[in-house]
Amino acid sequence: MKIKQYQVDAFATRAFEGNPAAVCPLENWLEDDLLQAIAEENNLSETAFFVPTENGFRLRWFTPVKEVDLCGHATLATAHVIFEILGCAEPAIIFETRSGNLCVEKAGNQLKMDFPAFPPTPCEDSETIVKAIGVRPIELLAADDYVAVFDSETTVRSITPNHSLLSQLDLRGVIVTAPGTDVDFVSRFFAPKIGITEDPVTGAAHCKLAPYWAGKLGKNTLSARQVSKRGGSLTCEVKPDRVVLYGSAVTFMEADIVFET
């Protein structure tokens, strides 16, 4: 069996920055165990698989250990492959996903992704989180991830988490965030529970961060940077029940997965 695979740096303007994702176009779905095995073999934060449908494409995302409901950077990477490599001439792509239909369209030299908003709500302090990240946040909120808010970008950059403790949390992971010095807000994302110690740039995290910071800063269009080692930038536009993310991507590698079944 041979499967084409592309590796794309998402939320990046050049190779070796942003978040790498593997993208595999399929004619038909393979067994879930095989999809998961490919994602585990890739050992990237996400591997995306898609098949054509009547209205667009069905899209699924896998971490090295499980399938997830939403992934921003791998959606960006997949749209980049469809537009730039496979030559899609349509102005917009509709992805059918576990999080509903997601629309991606070209916006100049960027791609514009329309995602659901998941505003986090305040929750009780967690001593496990404090121990895991080594500093007490000024505010703790929760959606499907915890959101720990700090008062400075320096604090967010300095955090060295205890991944063993983080993997014991009841939610998927922890987003740490603060006002930025050159952007509206910065963040980092840790999710060892699903095989991601630190994600370089996390589109889905901004479906929670953008509504929060829009309320704090009183503006609906925000500049953001995820201050991981690789780093990546994006623009967020907050609408009722939706978050629109803008970002660019670059192709790093094309390959064939070849194996015997």
Same domain for 16 and 109, yes or no, is yes
Beta bridge partners of 89: none
Specify whether the CB–CB gap between 260 and 9 falls below 8 A: no
Same domain for 223 and 196, yes or no, is yes
CA 71 to the chain's CA centroid: 4
42 occurs within a structural domain: yes
Residue 88's domain comprises: 2-116+246-258
Give me the pLDDT at residue 143, please: 96
User: What is residue 207's three-state secondary structure?
Assistant: helix
Which one is catalytic: 46, 96, 153, 198?
46
Task: Supply the CATH number for residue 229's domain.
Answer: 3.10.310.10
Distance CA 173, CA 17 (A): 22
211 occurs within a structural domain: yes
Distance CA 115, CA 69 (A): 12
Distance CA 92, CA 79 (A): 9
pLDDT exceeds cutoff 90 at 1: no
The string of pLDDT tens digits covering residues 122-157 is 999 899 999 999 999 999 999 999 999 999 999 999
Same domain for 145 and 171, yes or no, is yes
Phi-psi region of 231 (alpha: psi -120 to 50; beta: other; left: phi over 0): left
Phi-psi region of 195 (alpha: psi -120 to 50; beta: other; left: phi over 0): left
Same domain for 110 and 150, yes or no, is no
The string of pLDDT tens digits covering residues 223-250 is 999 999 999 999 999 999 999 999 999 9
The string of pLDDT tens digits covering residues 167-225 is 999 999 999 999 999 999 999 999 999 989 999 999 999 999 999 999 999 999 999 99
Same domain for 72 and 127, yes or no, is no
User: What is residue 48's three-state secondary structure?
Assistant: strand
User: pTM of the entire structure?
Assistant: 0.91
46 is catalytic: yes
Same domain for 57 and 156, yes or no, is no
Same domain for 129 and 109, yes or no, is no
- 148-159: string of b/e by CB count within 10 Å (b at 16+)? bbbeebebbeeb
When divided into structural domains, the chain yields a total of: 2
Tokens linked to 3: 């499967």
Same domain for 131 and 105, yes or no, is no
Same domain for 6 and 104, yes or no, is yes
Q: Which residue has the tokens 């590796």?
A: 7
241 occurs within a structural domain: no
Tokens linked to 34: 């095989």
240 occurs within a structural domain: no
Q: At 208, which helix (H) or strand (E)?
A: helix 206-217
Tokens linked to 32: 């879930």
Same domain for 90 and 33, yes or no, is yes
